[in-house]
Each structure stands twice: as C-alpha cells, then as structure tokens.
Chains A and B, each alone.
Chain A
Amino acid sequence: MVKSNKKGFTLDIAFICLICMLPLMWLIWRGYNGDLGVNPIETIVRQLGVWGLRLLIVGLAITPVVRIFKQPRLIRWRRPIGLFAFAYILLHLTSYIGIDQYFDWSAIWKDIVKRPYITFGMVGFVLLIPLAVTSFNGAIKAIGGRVWRNLHKLIYLIVPLGVLHYFLLAKADKTMPLIYGAILIVLLGWRLLEAAKRRK
C-alpha cells in the first residue's frame, strides 16, 4: 500500500486536491458575495464541520473501493483526502473558537467539559492530530510501517466520534447524522467481514 506513494504528485492526485478544495472555495465565494445566509457564522462553522466529516467518510471508503473494484492505484487518494479532512476540521474548530465564541476561553472550556457533543468532537480532533502529522513518507520510515499502520487505525474511532458529534448536536431532525452513521456502519462492517474471512 505504502509503496505506491513513490509515484509522487501525479495528475490524479492534483485533481483530488482540487475537488477537496471546492467546498472551501465555494464557502469563500459565498462569503465574498455576502451570501452566507442570515446567520453567516453558523453557516461557516457548520459547513466546515460537515465537509470535514464527509471527507473522513470518503477516506474510509477508499480501501473497500480499491479491494472490491481492484483499483490499487486509488489507494493513493486516501492521504490527500484524509489531510483535507483534517484541514476542514481544523478550520471548523478554529472558526468555532475564533468567530463563534470570539476566544471566550472560559465559555469554550465549559463547552468542552459540559457538552457531550463538543467533548466527543474535541476528542476526535485531538486523536486526528497524530494521524495528520505522520501523513508523509518520512514518518512511516521513522516510526516503522507496523506502528504507523496501528496508529492510523485510530481513524476507526475518530470517524464514529465525528458522527456522534454530529448526531448529538442535531436538535431534533437526526436524518442526516443517521445517514452518515449508516454509511459508516457499512464501511466498518465491510472491514470486519474482510477480517473474519482472512482468519478463516
């Protein structure tokens, strides 16, 4: 899996990066045109968060797609998608701290310890940091492929935390969080089935 990264920055990767940037570009464009709706801060924070979560889920879908459709090249898409997911989530957190709460650190701290949805979101974000900082080839060499692979299995915890974060903040209509949850169950379930097959 790791070997294919040697090919470096190719056209398909450039394309993936471009696609991943589109939601941010769209958000900036809407902001520039004053088209972020009645509650622009809420729009910014929500859009950044939801795109972070979407990219995390897309990242989890790469491996099943590679295996099922026998497209080993596509595994190279996973890293940029994961890094963009991290970037969106970092911006989501930054916008919550900086523009939603306006650096009211005591209110933010209270939110983190008292509001389960924020607690889960924060834990997910913190766990995502080591994955993001080890997302270059040198890191794999430095810590060893085995440790790296185990470390990156944290994603199986992080994405459910993200979906839970989304589920708990939804006021009453849980439709979207449940759809994300269902997709997540399929993606993680597929891995469990594969693991079970391998053991046989």
Chain B
Amino acid sequence: MFIKRIRPGNGDISENDVTPKDVYDQRRQIMKLGLGFGITAAVAGCDVMDGTDAEAAQVKGKLAFKPGPFSTSEKKTEYDAVTGYNNFYEFGTDKLDPAKYAASLNTRPWTVKLGGLCGKPQTLAIETLLKNALEERIYRLRCVEGWSMVIPWVGFPLANLIKLAEPTSKAKYVAFQTAEKPKEMRGLRSNVLDWPYVEGLRMDEALNPLAFLAVGLYGDLLPNQNGAPIRLVVPWKYGFKSIKSITDITFTERQPPTSWQRYGANEYGFYSNVNPNVDHPRWSQATERRIGEFRRRDTLMFNGYGDQVAGMYRNMDLKKFF
C-alpha cells in the first residue's frame, strides 16, 4: 500500500520513514536533477494509489518542514481556538460545527485536479503533494466577520503548483473548488450556499509569493475542520477566500464565480482584500478582535501585507473592486 499509517505523537520521523523506499529514491533522484518541486508525471495521478485503505483515513503525524518567509512574530493563536472556531459551511453554519462534524470527511484517497487553460493538465494524489518541500508560514488571518487569528501553516507556495501545470498565456484567472461529498459533509443538506464552494484569484495574485497552499497546521497535518487535506491561504484577503479541502484548480480566461459573490454580490466582491476603509454593508471593517485578546485592534490595509501585495492593485479603485 502506498499510504503508511503514522501513529500520532511519535515525534520526529525522518522523511524515509513515511515514504516508500522506491518513491523516496525516485524523489532523491528528482532533487538531484534540481527540479526542487518533487512532482513528476511518474508519481502523479490516481494510478499510484487505489485508496481503499480505510486505516489511512485519519493520517496524523508531525510534518517535516523548514521555516518559510513572510512569517509574523506576533503571538500565535492557541491551537484549540484555531481548530475549534471555524467557518466551514460544508459542516454547518455554526462556528463550532466544523470541529464537531468534519471528522466524517474522508481525506484519503484525495486528488487535486489541475486543468483548464494549461499545457500540462494533471491529477495529483495528496500523497504526492505532501512530498513537496514543506515550509512554515505564520500568517495573520482576518475573517470578514471582524475577528482575526495568527496561524502557523505548513505547506508550499501556490505558485509551485501553478508552474507545474504550465498555464497558457490565455489563462488570466485561477478557479478553485472544494470537495462536494454530501454523504460526508452534512452541511450540504442546507442550501445556504450553492455547492460546491468555489473561489478564484487573478493569475498575478495566485502567483504572488504570499499565496500558499497549506497541508498542515502547527506542524501537524491539517485537521479536517481547517480544510484538510489541502487548502489555500491568501492572508491579505478575508478568510473566506482561503478555500478549504480543494479538489480542483482550473485556469480560466474569464473571472470565475465565487460562492460568496453568488450569495450576495453587493456584500462580497471578487477581490475581498482586507480593507479597513471599505465596510461590509452590514458591519464595519475598521477594527477586529484578535482571538484571545480583549480590546479590538485596528484592521490593517491588506491585513498588514501591503508591502507584498499593494502593487497588484495600484491602479484599481478598491471601493469599486472590493
């Protein structure tokens, strides 16, 4: 079996403990060739796994990673808060629901399909994605509801995956889609949003070095309620842009629809950059409550990531393109 179960709490495991020898060797070979991003057609795709190993459904264990750039030194939000207070409507609309019900999501087997306007459309197994060189990024997360957290994600830059698919020059946007598994996602019984959940980025946003695909949190694999097995993290945008449990990444010429824009285009824009000067029609965005703190704090433009992202919006009226 391709997947090996890792017992929780057994501390540091070296990479070759969790990787079958042949794949490991192959990967060493790839790295020697200087390809860095350890995915090739040879290990990619559904054919490498049949996914019937029920035991592997809940894989837990420490991830091997190195520190990445852009991390904040602010106090990290408690693990229990990060994993116990979530908006993941596929499991219910209450913020306690995901922690209660997301365990029903089976994240193995799991594939991410890269498609649309690209030279190398392909389907990647999560095991393959997990074998990337992982890094930790400690990012602020600002929810559109007016609260924020500081979260140590583990993953790799979104740009790495995009480059692998070789999007064509026609590709101007990247569309993302969350899994749609009604039997495992009780929230899908409600039609509060159109399922599946979809999101999108402009190509330059997706290629921005800040845009990140997380597979882990606090050094462990992502808990289901945080978007296991793989999710987007775009910290300069409101949290709902950081789509969870991704199954499809598609390159498009036209701006793709987003779930919250479909719900209410007057309330949620395509860009949804954190902006204290543009209020949500129903509530102010000027301040936020950092989870764990008492007093509200001022919300920063682009959630404090202006140095990295402001240039992408230089000639745009952000009141219009909110």
Contacts and interface: CB of A to CB of B under 8 A. Distances in A.
A38 interface: yes
Q: Which 3 A-B pairs have the closest CB atoms?
A: A173-B93, A38-B85, A38-B81
B102 to A, nearest CB: 16
Contact of B282 (A37, A169, A173): A169
Given A37-B96, A39-B291, 12 more contacts: A38-B95, A42-B147, A102-B294, A107-B284, A111-B284, A114-B284, A115-B282, A172-B93, A172-B263, A173-B93, A173-B190, A175-B93
Interface of B: 80-81, 84-85, 89, 93, 95-96, 145, 147, 190, 192-193, 263, 279, 282-284, 286-287, 289, 291, 294-296
Contacts, number: 54
Nearest to A40: B294
Contact of A115 (B81, B193, B284, B296): B284
Interface string A65-85: 000000000000000000000
A110 interface: yes
16 contacts: A37-B84, A38-B81, A38-B84, A38-B95, A39-B95, A39-B291, A41-B294, A42-B147, A42-B289, A99-B294, A104-B287, A107-B284, A116-B282, A172-B93, A173-B89, A173-B93
Interface in A128-178: 168-169, 171-173, 175
Interface residue range, chain A: 20 to 34
Contacts of A169: 282
Contact of B284 (A99, A110, A171): A110
B282 A168 contact: yes
Contacts of A171: 93, 145
Given A38-B84, A173-B192, A117 B147 contact: no
Interface of A: 37-39, 41-42, 99-102, 104, 107, 110-111, 114-117, 168-169, 171-173, 175
A172 B240 CA distance: 13
B198 to A, nearest CB: 15
Contacts of B85: 37-39
A80 to B, nearest CB: 31
B282 to A, nearest CB: 6
A124 B293 CA distance: 31
A37 to B, nearest CB: 7
Which of A37, A101, A171 has the most chain B CB atoms closer than 10 A to its own CB? A171
Nearest to A170: B93
A127 B279 CA distance: 28
A107 B282 contact: no
A185 B197 CA distance: 34
